[in-house]
Chains A and B, each alone.
Chain A
Amino acid sequence: MIYNIKRDHARFRSIVKGKIKQDLKKYVTHGEMIGRKGKDRVTIPLPQIDIPHFRFGDREQGGVGQGEGKQGDPVGPGEPQPGEGKVGDQPGQHLLEVDLTLQELAEILGEQLELPKIEPRGHKTLKSKKERYTGIANQGPSSLRHFKRTFRETLRRQISSGIYDPDHPVIIPIRRDMRYRSWKTDVRHENNAVIIYMMDVSGSMGDEQKEIVRTEAFWIDTWLRSQYKGIETRYIIHDATAREVDEDTFFKTRESGGTLISSAYKLCEKIIETDYPPSDWNIYPFHFSDGDNWSGEDTRLCLDILDKTLLQVCNVFCYGQVESRYGSGQFFKDLKEHFGNEHDSVILSKIENKEGILQSIKEFLGKGK
C-alpha cells in the first residue's frame, strides 16, 4: 500500500549528482571531500539544496532552552529528540550531507571534464575469483534445494521405471532424486594498474603546494580506480635522495635541502622492475615538483632515465609543476624542450594555484591512456 519512496530517493540522488557536477570546480578547489573519504564512499556537504523560505537569519534568532547553567554559559546545538515523531514534523535544519560512492564521483568527474575511457594495455593477467551458484549437485543443504531439477529428476525416474500414472500424477521424490544448487568458481582476467606518485618535498614545496598535490592525487586516484579493477598505489618522496613511503607520510612530510629529481626516477625505475612487469601492468608515474632541480647535469640524467626506461614501460608519464614562490620552474622548460608539446606518452601540466587543479586533471587524464 505504501507508495514507493525509492523513486523519490533516486530522483533526489540524481539531483544531488547534478548539483555536485555543477559545482565540481568549487569542490575540487576547496579539497573538502578528501577528509571525508571512507573506504569506498565520500560524504559531501551540500549547502544549497533545500527549498528556500522567507525566514529569520540564523544568528538573529536564539531561543528557549532548559537546564543548568548561568548567564553567559555556552549552549550546544539542540539534539534531535529521540522517541516518537509526529506527522508533518520536519527534520531539523542542518547542513545536508550526502554519501556518494567513489564510482559515482568518478562518473561525475568524467562527465564534467569529458574524460575519455582509458584503453588498457597489457594482458589481462590479474586473476580474480568469484563464486557463483550456477552448478547443480547431488548433495547439499536443503536451503539450497533446487525444486525444479528435483521434480524433473523424480519425474524421469518414475516414468522410466513405469511407476508414473498420468491419470494420477503423484510425484514422490526419493533421496536419489534430490538436486541442490552448487557453486562454480569463475576466474576472471582483469586489467591491473599501478600509480606511482612522486613528490618533491624539498624546502621550496610549501603547505599550499602540497595541498594542491594532495587534491590532485585524490581525483586522479578516483578516476583511475573507476577505470581499473585492481589498482595499486605507491608513493615516493624525494629531496636530494628518494625513498618510498606510505600515503600518510607522502602528504605530510616536509624536508629541507636540495633536489635531485633523478633520485626519484631511479627509485621508480627500480620499483617497476621488481614489482610490475610492464607486459602485465598499466603503469602511471606522476611526478609533482616546483621545477627546481639541483643542476643541469641531474636534469640530463632524468631525461636519460625517461627516454631509456620509464617511457618504454609506462602508459603515460605525467609531470605536474606546482608554482611556488621559490621554484624557478626550470625543469618544466627542460622537459618541454626535450619532448616537445605533443609527445605521445609524456604529459606536462602547470598548476598555478588551486583554481588550476581541475584543468590540470583534465590535461593528465584527457588523453585516455
Chain B
Amino acid sequence: MASTDFVSSDLTPELVAVRNEIRSYAEGFGLDFFDVIFEMVDHEQINSLASLGGFPVRYPHWRFGMDYDQLSKGYTWGLQKIYEMVINTNPSYAYLMKSNNLVDQKMVIAHVYGHVDFFKNNYWFSKTNRKMLDSMANHAVKIRNYMDRYGQDKVENFIDHCLAIETLIDPHLPFSTPKKREPLYPNTEAKVEEPGRIKSDRSYMDQYINPPEFILEQKKRMEQDARKSKKNPPEPQKDILAFLLDHAPLEEWEHDVLSIVRDEAYYFAPQAQTKIMNEGWASYWHSKIMTQKALKDSEVIDFADHHAGTMAMSPGRINPYKVGIELFRDIEERWDRGKFGKEYQDCDHMVTKAKWDQKLGLGRQKIFEVRRVCNDITFIDEYLTEEFVERFQLYTYAFNRRTNQYEIADRDFKKVKEKLLFQLTNLGQPFIYLTDGNFQNKGELLLWHKHQGLDLDVRWSRETMRSLTEIWKRPINVESEVDGQKKLFSYQNNEFSEKFL
C-alpha cells in the first residue's frame, strides 16, 4: 500500500520528506488509505476549491460564486481560514496551504491520512463513486453544452429548481436491493383475479352455493381494492428525485440535469452522515501521530495552539472535531479497561466504577471496528455515555418565546442524546416522502411530511414547492402538521394555499 510514489506537482523536497515520514507513522499505526496526492495551493485557490466542494472542475453555477464571495471575505477580514481539504476519490487529492508553516503542514498531512483511511474503510463510503473527479468534470462539460444550446439563464434556473429538492433523496438507498419500477398509471384491469367459489360436485347446485349476484358483487369489490392498492408509488418513497426522473415530463436535457444533481447529492450524502466520526477520527490520528512521533520540541507550542483552536467548543453548537475525537478516546479507554458490558453497567458503586480496570487492552481494536461499521447516528447512539455528557458539559438548548432568545434547556443525559440523535437523523432535515404520484387522479403529487415533533418552515416549504411544480409541471401537495393540526399545503398556478385536514 502507498508504495507507488506519486510525484506531486509542487511539493517541496522538505515537504516530500515530511509527507513520507508521516505516512510511515500512519502505516505503522495500522491506518489503511488510498494514495494521496498533495497539491500546494494559495488562499485564493483554496477558497475557490472550497466553494466548489473541493473539486477543481464543477458546472457553472452562481451559488459557487456566492460561497466564494463569503469565503474570500472571511479570509480577507481574518475571520476564517481553511487549513486543509481532501476529496474522497481514489487516489485521494488533498490541498495544502502554501502559507502554512511546517508544523501546520505536518498536522494537516496526518489529519488527511486519517480522513482517507476513513473514506476507504468506513462502510457508509463503500458505495460512493471513487472516480468522482472525472464525473464532476463530465457533469461540467454536459451542463456547459446545454447552456450553449439552450441559454445560460434557462439552464441555471432549472438547476436552481433541482437544487431546491436535492435533499429529497434516500441516503440508505445505495445499501438496499433495487426494486422494480412501477408504471405511473398502472393498468388496473389486467391483474384482477376471479373471486373464490365454493367447490361442489353437483353443477346444478352451483347457482345456489355460489349465487351469481354475490359473485358479481365480490368481483366489483376486488376490482376496487385492486385499484386502491395500485397506487404509485406503492409505498411512500423517499427518493423523490428518482421518482421524478422516472415520471416527470422532462425534456432530455432537463432529465440529464436532474440526474446530475441527484448523483452529486448521493456522492456528498455519506460525508454529511459521518461528519462527527470523520473529523473525530482524523483528529484522533493527527493528535496521536504528532504527539507520539512527528512533533519536534520547538513545534510543541504552535501545535498545541492550533490543535486547541480546532477543538474549541462554542455555546451554540457542538464542534464535531471535539465530540468526535473525545468519543474515540473514550471508547478506546473503556475497551482498554473493560468498562463495558453487563457487569460494569450493573455496578452501582461509584469508586469501583471509576477505578474499573480489567486490563483488556482492546481499545485500539475497538476503535478500528467502530470506524468501519458506524455512522454518526450509530456512533452517538451506541457510545455516548452519561459520564461523557457530564464530563464535557453538554446541554440542550431551546428557543424561549417569552425572552426571545435561545436558552439552556436541560443537562439530562437522555435529553441530550435524544436531541443529538434527532439532529443527526436524516441529516437534521424533515422526513419527506412521496405518497401519491397521481393525487386525486389529477396527476398531482402528494408529499407527506412525517411529523416528528417539529413543524416545517412554511415560507421555505412554499418556495421549495414552487420549484417542484417547475419540474413536475402539475400542482404539488404536502401533508404536514402545524401546531398539532393536520394540514395540507398546496401549490398550483403560482399560488400557495393551506387547509386543515
> Which of A's residues lie within 8 Å of B, judged by CB?
1-5, 7-13, 15, 49, 51-89, 91, 96, 98-99
Contacts and interface: CB of A to CB of B under 8 A. Distances in A.
A148 B395 CA distance: 71
A57 B81 contact: no
B385 interface: no
Interface string B108-129: 1001000000000000000000
15 contacts: A9-B69, A11-B156, A54-B460, A57-B456, A70-B408, A72-B408, A75-B406, A76-B315, A78-B314, A81-B314, A84-B82, A84-B108, A85-B83, A85-B84, A91-B67
A88 B272 contact: yes
B453 to A, nearest CB: 9
A64 B71 contact: no
A69 B410 CA distance: 10
Contacts of A59: 399, 401
A79 B66 contact: no
A345 to B, nearest CB: 44
Contact of A87 (B54, B315, B410, B460): B54
Which of B68, B69, B80 neighbours the largest number of chain A CB atoms within 10 Å of its CB? B69
B353 interface: no
Contacts of A89: 275
Given A8-B61, A11-B62, A51-B63, A79 B419 contact: no
Interface stretch (B44-52, B191-199, B360-368): B44-52
Contacts of A4: 48
A13 B85 CA distance: 26
Contacts of A2: 41, 45, 48-49, 56
A87 B87 contact: yes
Nearest to A12: B65
B62 A64 contact: no
A2 B53 CA distance: 12
Interface string B412-428: 00001001100100000
A66 B393 contact: yes
Interface string B393-404: 111111101010
A65 B65 contact: no
Contacts of B247: none
Contact of A65 (B84, B111, B394): B394
Nearest to B83: A84
B60 A8 contact: yes
B408 A73 contact: yes
- By Cβ-Cβ distance, the 8 closest A-B pairs, closest first, are A78-B316, A12-B65, A83-B310, A78-B317, A8-B65, A52-B463, A62-B398, A9-B65
B233 interface: no
B449 A54 contact: yes
A87 B464 contact: no
Contact of B86 (A12, A80, A87): A87
A63 B80 contact: no
Interface in B307-329: 309-310, 312-319, 321-322
Given A5-B68, A11-B65, A71-B408, A85 B53 contact: no
B83 A86 contact: no
Given A63-B316, A63-B397, A64-B395, A56 B430 contact: yes
Which of A5, A49, A80 neighbours the largest number of chain B CB atoms within 10 Å of its CB? A5
B218 interface: no
A82 B318 contact: no
A3 B140 contact: yes
Interface stretch (B20-28, B159-167, B178-186): B159-167
A250 to B, nearest CB: 31
A61 B463 CA distance: 20
Nearest to A4: B48
Contacts of B84: 84-85
Given A64-B395, A85-B50, A74 B406 contact: yes
A64 B56 contact: no
Which of A7, A69, A96, A98 neighbours the largest number of chain B CB atoms within 10 Å of its CB? A69
Interface string B214-250: 0000000000000000000000000000000000000
Contact of A81 (B62, B278, B310, B423): B310
Interface residues of B, number: 102
Interface of B: 41, 45, 47-54, 56-58, 60-71, 73, 79-88, 108, 111, 140, 156, 160, 163-168, 268, 271-272, 275, 278-279, 306, 309-310, 312-319, 321-322, 392-399, 401, 403, 405-411, 416, 419-420, 423, 429-430, 432, 449, 454-458, 460-461, 463-464, 466-467
A54 B271 contact: no
A87 to B, nearest CB: 4
B320 to A, nearest CB: 8
Nearest to A57: B457
Contacts of A11: 60-62, 65, 156
B469 to A, nearest CB: 13
Contact of B419 (A13, A15, A63): A63
Contacts of A82: 80-81, 309-310, 312
Contacts of B64: 5, 8
Contact of B432 (A54, A63, A72): A54
Contact of B455 (A60, A87, A96): A60
B385 to A, nearest CB: 15
Contacts of A56: 429-430, 454-457
Contacts of B464: 52-54
A12 B69 contact: yes
Contacts of B456: 54-57
B409 A66 contact: no
A9 B61 CA distance: 9
Contacts of A69: 315, 395, 408
A164 to B, nearest CB: 42
Contacts of B160: 51
Given A9-B65, A62-B396, A84-B111, A55 B457 contact: yes
Contacts of B461: 54
Contacts of B81: 82
A88 B160 CA distance: 18
A71 B409 contact: yes
Nearest to A2: B56
Nearest to B466: A52
A3 to B, nearest CB: 5
Contacts of B410: 71
Nearest to A1: B56
A81 B399 contact: no
Nearest to A56: B454
Nearest to B166: A53
A65 B457 contact: no
Contacts of A8: 51, 60-65, 68
B321 A52 contact: no
A84 B83 CA distance: 5
A63 B322 CA distance: 16
A33 to B, nearest CB: 18
Which of A78, A84, A85 neighbours the largest number of chain B CB atoms within 10 Å of its CB? A84
A64 B318 contact: yes
Nearest to A74: B405
Contacts of A13: 65, 69
B407 A96 contact: no
B362 to A, nearest CB: 29
B281 to A, nearest CB: 12
Given A66-B318, A86-B85, A86-B278, A3 B164 contact: no
Given A55-B460, A57-B455, A63 B423 contact: yes
B452 to A, nearest CB: 10
Contacts of A73: 407-408
Given A64-B416, A74-B405, A54 B397 contact: no
